[in-house]
Chain A
Amino acid sequence: MSPSVPLQEMIRAIRSARTQCEERGVIQRECAAIRAQFRQVDNGARSHNLAKLLYVHMLGYPAHFGQMECVRMIASPRYSEKRVGYLGAMMLLDEKQDASLLITNSIKNDLSHSNQYVQSLALCTLACMGSAEMCRDLAPEIDRLLRASNSYIKKKAALCAVHIVRKVQDLGELFAPAARSLLSEKNHGVLHGAVVLITELCERNPETLERFRKTVPDLVQIMKGLVISGYSPEHDVAGISDPFLQVRILRLLRILGRNNEAASDAMNDLLAQVATNTDSTKTVGNAVLYETVLTVLDIKSESGLRVLAVNILGRFLLNNDRNIRYIAMTSLQRIVGTDHNAVQRHRGTIVDCLKDQDASVKRRALELSLALVSASNIRSMMKELLLFLSSCPPELRAQAASGIFYAAERYAPSQRWHIDTILHVLTTAGGDVRDETVPNLIQLITNASELHCYTVHKLYRALLNDISQQSLVQVACWCIGEYGDLLLRGECQETEPAQVTEDDVLDALETVLQSHMSSPATRGFALTATMKLSTRILDNVDRIRSIVSIYGSCIDVELQQRAVEYNALFRKYDHMRAAVLERMPVIEKNSPGHTNGESAGEPMKEIQPPKVKQGEPLLPQQPANQKDGVTLTLSCEKQSDSVLTVTLTASNSTDSDMSSFTLQAAVPKVCLSTSNAKEAFSVRTCTYSRLCKTTQSYDALSYDEHQSVRGKVWSIRCKTTNYIREEENHCLISKINKAVAVFNKKLYHFPPPNLAFNSRC
């Protein structure tokens, strides 16, 4: 065999270049020479030149000027030139290049060449880079070769047909008959090609699949022959006879047996035989076993066979070879839904794999572990998962965190455990949790009313420790704002109470406010929490006042707005402050009828729009609060996406008139840019001279400030702007704040109605 000396010399020259620059120089010179040679008439060294160019191309340098040369070489009568020409075509031309069409004719001719090695080149190239058009053009040729040629060509034609079918699905019909007859060939290469082709045809066309089901007995026979027959040196790999063919047949059987009892029955014995007799000491045996297991689990197999398959996977899990363990977990993942109990038996081993060094194995173990969590093993599993979270690779953290949350939510044995778990995750992986964790946790905390003291203590300590994890800090600020009084009280049942002064708490919040680590959203939480504390602490209200006023000129618009409004709450509306900043009610998740956005303008449950016909009683609104003969109700109506109309109505059911009363409502302005509900308030005021006694039905709409007519109801309409926009997967909680009525200079405030607007969570 003559070595391609010029090629090897060039390679040597390139490799001896000491710098990138030198290499480029060598290559440029060579390419120039090659280009010149291409332009010359046939000089007997064409294949060497093209080979050189291909080498240069592999190093990453441009070689498109060789495309036409490939086309020319392919058309050459010399085998050596054809060989390199086709190689070049596969490397430089792909179906996206126009030049690829030019070789279609050459390929066509070479497919019927008298020499099988030339035919082989054409088949290989077509199967590698044939475009859809080329495939359509040449499909009949391929079909012909499938039927009438020697084994060497038939096996290649079969795989070429596979490529054609992948490109042009309709042509599958053309090859089906030939594929069927190829199954009776003895040659392993041809059989392998036939099985691959039939697999491809069946996957793409359900009718073809039906027809080929009849071949199951034949396939079983072939397989049996491979498994049982004596040693065949030609195809033997570590004691397994032609594992490549075995795997392919098993795969085809899988597709044919899927969802079909009869076919599954026909292959049952064979699968059992392969599963039990295949030697599993080497990878090759395990490859066959693996394919067998996949097939058993996918078809309608007998329960005994299924158990056998899962046991094989269980054995794989204990294998020393990491690859095998990985494979086992991949397969177990697929069946954890359907054969849950069988997989549970191997939970211990799977959990151990969480500690494996390999990231791929860890990932699989994590997915599988999360799938195996159940009510009975939640405590022990969570311990392992939290341990894993503290040392897991960064790319798995988000997945682990959300998996843990989900499991905790489904199977939490107690509220305290649930809160503890979430806090643990937030401290270890707070940066990797999703946005809605914060409102979810807040909701969880408010619902666990006996644990408020415990929770705020824990969060306070966590806050002192570390203010970099935004989710944690946000929840902590919120808790401190809400339950700060419990913190300051200095007593707690569930945990060691903290000896905390008001200054300490305010220091903590101010640190968050001022820290550059805090995101704008976090600072918002901190500011609101500080404000809330003004009604829960005794001595340091002035400090709070000054904090709030400082932020009135903050550069962050959101903070500034909040600060300004809180300032207003201190000054003009101080009488309302306590009521406004009261404890939040228990937030209900997904309360029926409280989802907005389902249809614009649809009111909430039991609340009617204010438009009522004359004479019709106003249906009861939610809630009707009564005190001293004054009835106060709130209703809301969503007019459009950004406008919500809140109607506060007051009515007088005493015998006499009430004079000089003021009706005020504090309505939150809810702005939405993240999932956090921001509590900012705006106050609407309406002053009336009289609230007259009402005895009859109401007319809610009209009111006249100057008249004091009996039977009238006065109402305030407030429009809130920037109301809640629909955001997927976020639980937004907003509260229409309480109605605070001032009648005759006396403050009446009514507990807030249970109006929670949630978007679908």
Chain B
Amino acid sequence: MSLTTHFPLCFLFSLFQMQFMLLFSRQGKLRLQKWYVPLSDKEKKKITRELVQTVLARKPKMCSFLEWRDLKIVYKRYASLYFCCAIEDQDNELITLEIIHRYVELLDKYFGSVCELDIIFNFEKAYFILDEFLLGGEAQETSKKNVLKAIEQADLLQEVRHRMKSK
């Protein structure tokens, strides 16, 4: 099954696009999934299962890139978590590695020395941070400082309203 067979035709024209990002543990448990292309739940599950299996089977010193179906997969392991992105044929794998690294840095700054448990117990925050860094699969802000500032402000807003409500 090729991902491209399930897309409306316009997706076939896109040469540079991140299709999805997955975070999973070494036991294969999914910790975050962000899909930038429309797929049914069943398809997502199938893709996740297969990809997780493929990446976990890789040995430590191997290349961070692999070809899977007709996509390029860029992955990197940070402690107990695998960060895995699917990009398209013409995309630059090396800069995708940098994107992954930037996201990890953001998480690290936000949670203070982030570990897997932080992402498990605060998964919605991980999403919020990701959504402040990437939009529609593309980087929206290239300054670390600005991303963190925006998250801070949004969190504050949540707080304020929350407190206001309970008055």
User: Which of A80, A95, A117, A160 makes the CB contact (< 8 A) with B38?
Assistant: A95
**Is A123 within 8 A of B30, CB to CB?**
no
**Is A55 within 8 A of B150, CB to CB?**
no
**Is B121 within 8 A of A237, CB to CB?**
no
Query: Which residues from 283 to 304 on chain A have a C-beta closer than 8 Å to any C-beta of chain B?
Result: 283-284, 286-287, 290-291, 294
A-B contact count (CB 8 A): 181
B121 CB contacts on chain A under 8 angstroms? 8, 11-12
A168 CB contacts on chain B under 8 angstroms? 10
**Is B161 within 8 A of A78, CB to CB?**
yes
Q: In the complex where A1-B159, A55-B123 touch, is A358 in contact with B142 (Cβ < 8 A)?
A: no
The reply to whether the CB of A360 lies closer than 8 angstroms to some CB of chain B is yes
B136 CB contacts on chain A under 8 angstroms? 127-128, 159-160, 162-163
Query: Which residues from 116 to 138 on chain B have a C-beta closer than 8 Å to any C-beta of chain A?
Result: 120-121, 123-124, 127-128, 131-132, 135-136, 138
User: Which of A1, A55, A167, A290 makes the CB contact (< 8 A) with B155?
Assistant: A1
Query: Which residues from 95 to 153 on chain B have a C-beta closer than 8 Å to any C-beta of chain A?
Result: 95, 97-99, 102, 120-121, 123-124, 127-128, 131-132, 135-136, 138-146, 150, 153
**Is B95 within 8 A of A247, CB to CB?**
yes
Question: How far does the alpha carbon of A196 sit from the alpha carbon of B136 in the complex, in Å?
Answer: 11
The reply to whether the CB of A381 lies closer than 8 angstroms to some CB of chain B is no
User: Which of A79, A87, A129, A156 makes the CB contact (< 8 A) with B140?
Assistant: A156
CB distance from B138 to the nearest CB of A (A): 5
B45 CB contacts on chain A under 8 angstroms? 60
Q: In the complex where A83-B154, A156-B140 touch, is A323 in contact with B65 (Cβ < 8 A)?
A: yes
Query: Which residues from 6 to 63 on chain B have a C-beta closer than 8 Å to any C-beta of chain A?
Result: 8, 10-11, 13-17, 30-33, 35-36, 38-40, 45, 59, 61-63
User: Which of B13, B94, B138 makes the CB contact (< 8 A) with A159?
Assistant: B138
CB distance from A536 to the nearest CB of B (A): 51
Query: Which residues from 139 to 163 on chain A have a C-beta closer than 8 Å to any C-beta of chain B?
Result: 152, 155-156, 159-160, 162-163
**Is A192 within 8 A of B161, CB to CB?**
no
**Is B140 within 8 A of A189, CB to CB?**
yes
Q: In the complex where A79-B157, A123-B135, A160-B135 touch, is A357 in contact with B39 (Cβ < 8 A)?
A: no
B162 CB contacts on chain A under 8 angstroms? 2, 78, 80
From B14, B38, B63, name the one whose CB has the most chain A CB atoms within 10 angstroms.
B63
**Is B39 within 8 A of A94, CB to CB?**
yes
A79 CB contacts on chain B under 8 angstroms? 154, 157-158, 161
The reply to whether the CB of B80 lies closer than 8 angstroms to some CB of chain A is no
B11 CB contacts on chain A under 8 angstroms? 166
The reply to whether the CB of A84 lies closer than 8 angstroms to some CB of chain B is yes
Question: How far does the alpha carbon of A327 sit from the alpha carbon of B93 in the complex, in Å?
Answer: 8
B17 CB contacts on chain A under 8 angstroms? 166
Q: Can you name the residue of chain A whose Cβ is closest to the Cβ of B146?
A: A189
CB distance from A478 to the nearest CB of B (A): 38
Question: How far does the alpha carbon of A237 sit from the alpha carbon of B33 in the complex, in Å?
Answer: 26
Question: How far does the alpha carbon of A94 sit from the alpha carbon of B6 in the complex, in Å?
Answer: 14
**Is A360 within 8 A of B158, CB to CB?**
no
**Is B98 within 8 A of A283, CB to CB?**
yes
B127 CB contacts on chain A under 8 angstroms? 87
Question: How far does the alpha carbon of A603 sit from the alpha carbon of B13 in the complex, in Å?
Answer: 48
Question: How far does the alpha carbon of A522 sit from the alpha carbon of B97 in the complex, in Å?
Answer: 51
The reply to whether the CB of B165 lies closer than 8 angstroms to some CB of chain A is yes
A230 CB contacts on chain B under 8 angstroms? none
Interface footprint category on A: 35 or more
**Is B95 within 8 A of A58, CB to CB?**
no
Q: Can you name the residue of chain A whose Cβ is closest to the Cβ of B76?
A: A323
Question: How far does the alpha carbon of A159 sit from the alpha carbon of B142 in the complex, in Å?
Answer: 13
**Is B98 within 8 A of A96, CB to CB?**
no
Question: How far does the alpha carbon of A259 sit from the alpha carbon of B76 in the complex, in Å?
Answer: 37
Question: How far does the alpha carbon of A11 sit from the alpha carbon of B118 in the complex, in Å?
Answer: 12
**Is B63 within 8 A of A363, CB to CB?**
no
Q: Can you name the residue of chain A whose Cβ is closest to the Cβ of B45?
A: A60
Q: Can you name the residue of chain B whose Cβ is closest to the Cβ of A241?
A: B142
CB distance from B125 to the nearest CB of A (A): 9
Question: How far does the alpha carbon of A76 sit from the alpha carbon of B150 in the complex, in Å?
Answer: 22
**Is B62 within 8 A of A11, CB to CB?**
no
B38 CB contacts on chain A under 8 angstroms? 94-96, 129, 131
Q: Can you name the residue of chain B whose Cβ is closest to the Cβ of A200?
A: B14
CB distance from A382 to the nearest CB of B (A): 26
**Is A162 within 8 A of B65, CB to CB?**
no
The reply to whether the CB of A643 lies closer than 8 angstroms to some CB of chain B is no
Q: In the complex where A323-B63, A323-B64 touch, is A11 in contact with B131 (Cβ < 8 A)?
A: no
The reply to whether the CB of A54 lies closer than 8 angstroms to some CB of chain B is yes
A55 CB contacts on chain B under 8 angstroms? 123
**Is A96 within 8 A of B140, CB to CB?**
no
**Is A358 within 8 A of B63, CB to CB?**
yes
Question: How far does the alpha carbon of A547 sit from the alpha carbon of B78 in the complex, in Å?
Answer: 67
CB distance from A612 to the nearest CB of B (A): 56
B59 CB contacts on chain A under 8 angstroms? 357
Q: Can you name the residue of chain B whose Cβ is closest to the Cβ of A64?
A: B41
CB distance from A368 to the nearest CB of B (A): 15
Q: Can you name the residue of chain B whose Cβ is closest to the Cβ of A287?
A: B94
Q: In the complex where A127-B136, A169-B10, A322-B61 touch, is A58 in contact with B142 (Cβ < 8 A)?
A: no
**Is A237 within 8 A of B63, CB to CB?**
no
**Is A78 within 8 A of B165, CB to CB?**
yes
From B16, B39, B40, name the one whose CB has the most chain A CB atoms within 10 angstroms.
B16
The reply to whether the CB of A251 lies closer than 8 angstroms to some CB of chain B is yes
The reply to whether the CB of A265 lies closer than 8 angstroms to some CB of chain B is no
CB distance from A325 to the nearest CB of B (A): 8
A234 CB contacts on chain B under 8 angstroms? 143-146
Question: What are 13 A-B pairs with beta-carbon distances under 8 A?
Answer: A2-B162, A7-B124, A55-B123, A79-B158, A79-B161, A80-B162, A117-B157, A128-B136, A155-B141, A203-B15, A247-B92, A326-B65, A358-B62
Give the 8 A-B CB pairs with smallest separation, nearest first.
Answer: A127-B136, A287-B94, A159-B135, A287-B95, A163-B136, A189-B141, A80-B158, A358-B62
Q: Known A-B contacts: A80-B162, A234-B143. Give 8 more (CB < 8 A).
A: A7-B124, A96-B40, A120-B132, A199-B16, A203-B13, A237-B102, A327-B94, A359-B66
